[in-house]
Amino acid sequence: MQEVQAIFVDCDGVLYDVDLLTYEEIVAAGRQAGTALGLRWDDFDKIHTDLKERHYHGFYNTVLKLCQTQGVSFSALAKEMVGFLDYSRIKPDKELLPLLQKVALDRKLYIFTNNTQAHLEKVFNQLFNCSVQDSGLAAITAESTLENGYFYPKRMDGVLTKWCKKIGVLPQNTLMLDDTNTVIKAAQKEGLQYRQIENAQMTKSILKELYEEHKRHPNLRQTSCRISAQKSASRD
């Protein structure tokens, strides 16, 4: 393994167990929020198919196009949809935030989610009782990837390499912690180190290992991570 200089940490399924707030629930909330704002869904399947054929993936890209064509604010939709989700099932985690903060002292650490800023703020409030800004952690959200009228989720070709370049770290010195098969495959293809996360406890175990590795080598600003790449895939 190469030394780990940067870490991309997913949100859903990595900071908290995915069964506490599922992808299907998030999509349903997006539809409810859109309907509440007057968004019509008649062309959803057609637009989704067209975008997928042109390799623009993700539920939010389809919703964005619907919003653009119908004059609905995507930002307003993102803020509205969190009201349709039950975040109370995500229990506070007093151990996770300090671990993230400790690791972030000696490596570049980004919470890298394909979800929205509004959603990430709700998750942080529930888990840590603070905002993303107050946590001191950096974040890359769906809105961060908006370019030329499209979102660029992590699984799209070249996206991870692009973000590595933006933060000034080589892909081989970047560790991706994610729970989805498509993102893990993208990380593997683009030369990142990776671990496929099964639950939040696994995330904490890896963060502890990274932190302990640094403590064993206090004179090194960037230390190596002896974590074997997990190549098995459990979910897509």
Per-residue confidence band for 235, with pLDDT thresholds at 50, 70 and 90: very low
Q: Do 14 and 115 lie in a common domain?
A: yes
Taking only the tens place, the pLDDT of each residue in 210-223 is 998 766 655 444 43
Instruction: Give the pLDDT mean for 24-38.
Output: 97
Quickly tell me which residue has 């529930």 as its tokens: 126
Indicate the residue among 50, 66, 84 that finishes a domain: 84
Residue at 224 is within a domain: no
Tally of residues, the chain: 236
Range of the domain at 37: 23-84
Percent of the chain with pLDDT over 70: 89
Q: Does 95 lie in the same domain as 209?
A: yes
Same domain, 76 and 106: no
Longest dimension (CA), the chain: 60
Confidence (pLDDT) at 91: 95
pLDDT of residue 45 exceeding 50, the answer is yes
Q: What is the pLDDT of residue 57?
A: 87
Neighbours of 226 (CB within 10 A): 10
| Among candidate residues 69, 84, 99, the one where a domain is terminated | 84
CA–CA separation, 195 vs 207, rounded Å? 12
Question: Average pLDDT in the 99-123 region?
Answer: 97
- Same-domain status, 11 and 125: yes
**Average per-residue pLDDT in the chain?**
91
In the chain, the number of structural domains is: 2
What the block records as the tokens of 80 is 């509205």
What CA–CA distance (Å, rounded) separates 106 from 99?
Answer: 12
Query: What is the pLDDT averaged over residues 97-126?
Result: 97
Q: Which residue has the tokens 């939709």?
A: 77
Residues 13 and 33 in one domain: no
> Could you report the per-residue pLDDT of 146-191, keeping only the tens digit for each?
999 999 999 999 999 999 999 999 999 999 999 999 999 999 999 9
**Can you give the CATH number for the domain in which 141 is found?**
3.40.50.1000
Give the tens place of pLDDT for each residue, 58-94. Answer: 999 999 999 999 999 999 999 999 999 999 999 999 9
Residues 51 and 75 in one domain: yes
Q: What pLDDT is recorded for position 229?
A: 36
| Structural element, H or E, at residue 177 | strand 174-178
Model's pTM, two decimal places?
A: 0.89
pLDDT at 213 (0 to 100) = 79
When pLDDT is averaged across residues 117-137 and rounded to a whole number, the result is: 98
Confidence at residue 225, expressed as pLDDT on a 0 to 100 scale: 39
| Portion of the chain with pLDDT greater than 90, in percent | 86
Please count the other Cβ atoms lying within 10 Å of the Cβ belonging to residue 215.
10
180 and 63, same structural domain?
A: no
